[in-house]
Amino acid sequence: MRSITAFLLFIQCMSFTELAQAFGSGRTGTFKVKKDSSDEVNLREACRRVASGMYLDAWDQMYQSKKLLASTEAKKKAIDLSLSAESKLLTAMRSKVAKSNYDLALAQQIDSKSGLIQTLQTQAADMATLGAKSKVDVDAATKYEATRRAEVIPVFDIKKEKKQERPLNLDYKAACPKYRYLCPLPRDHAIRLRDITDKNPNLEPCARYAEQSIQNRK
């Protein structure tokens, strides 16, 4: 009787986790712990994060390419204005030479101005080349962002904060009650999520979450 009482006191002093380790090992009994809902919650959140990262990376590429194009076009415009102004000055200098005797100082000014114009012409050509490449990059990045956006919007909402151009993150269209043990996606959302993962192998948590949701919706 004393041994039974001592054993019961020992059990009462053990935590739930300790009981699970003591009796859920398969060697000393059949006691098993119910799976913690944190696994499902973490999988859902892990999927949301990697999907957000994928989409925001595409958005950032688009934004940076547009920013580079705008900067290149602004520099090209400034160079063109300078080139036009300096070319007019050079024309005026040469006109003076034609109307007067040889002027060493003026000749030196003409040589210096001609060199400056050649430099500006080279810079303008470089900016034109960079601008053409930037336009190609913008087109590619814009299409890439559109593809990623089309993939995620059936399952996620794109969240933004007021007065901020860059999206904040993605959030599921299908809400999950805070204390719900299992939170599978609606079946049609899960299928679309699985389709995304087929095209993007880096979304492994989403692949698992999609399959889990499909299984739980059968």
Closest CA to 98 of 108, 109, 106, 88: 106
Backbone angles phi, psi at 24, to 5 degrees: -100, 10
User: How confident is the model at residue 74, as a pLDDT?
Assistant: 96
Question: For residue 25, what are the CA distances in angstroms to 32, 88, 175, 186?
Answer: 8, 90, 36, 35
User: How confident is the model at residue 26, as a pLDDT?
Assistant: 40
User: Quick one: 159 exposed, middle or buried, by C-beta within 10 A (0-12, 13-18, 19+)?
Assistant: exposed
pLDDT above 90 for 147: yes
**Residues above pLDDT 70, as percent of the chain:** 76
Give mean pLDDT, residues 131-145: 96
User: How confident is the model at residue 100, as a pLDDT?
Assistant: 67
User: How confident is the model at residue 178, as a pLDDT?
Assistant: 64
pLDDT digits (tens, 9 = 90+) for 52-100: 999 999 999 999 999 999 999 999 999 999 999 999 988 888 887 766 6
User: How confident is the model at residue 98, as a pLDDT?
Assistant: 65
**Separation between Cα atoms, residue 17 and residue 39, nearest integer Å:** 16
Closest CA to 193 of 207, 205, 212: 207
| Segments making up each domain of the chain, as ranges | 1-33, 34-216
Name the band, by pLDDT with cuts 50, 70 and 90, for residue 5: very low
Name the band, by pLDDT with cuts 50, 70 and 90, for residue 218: low
CB 149 within 8 A of CB 57: no
User: How confident is the model at residue 199, as a pLDDT?
Assistant: 84
Decide: pTM greater than 0.85. Answer: no
CB 72 within 8 A of CB 131: yes
**Separation between Cα atoms, residue 106 and residue 114, nearest integer Å:** 12
pLDDT digits (tens, 9 = 90+) for 190-209: 999 999 998 888 899 999 99
DSSP annotation of 171: E
pLDDT above 80 for 38: no
User: Quick one: 22 exposed, middle or buried, by C-beta within 10 A (0-12, 13-18, 19+)?
Assistant: middle
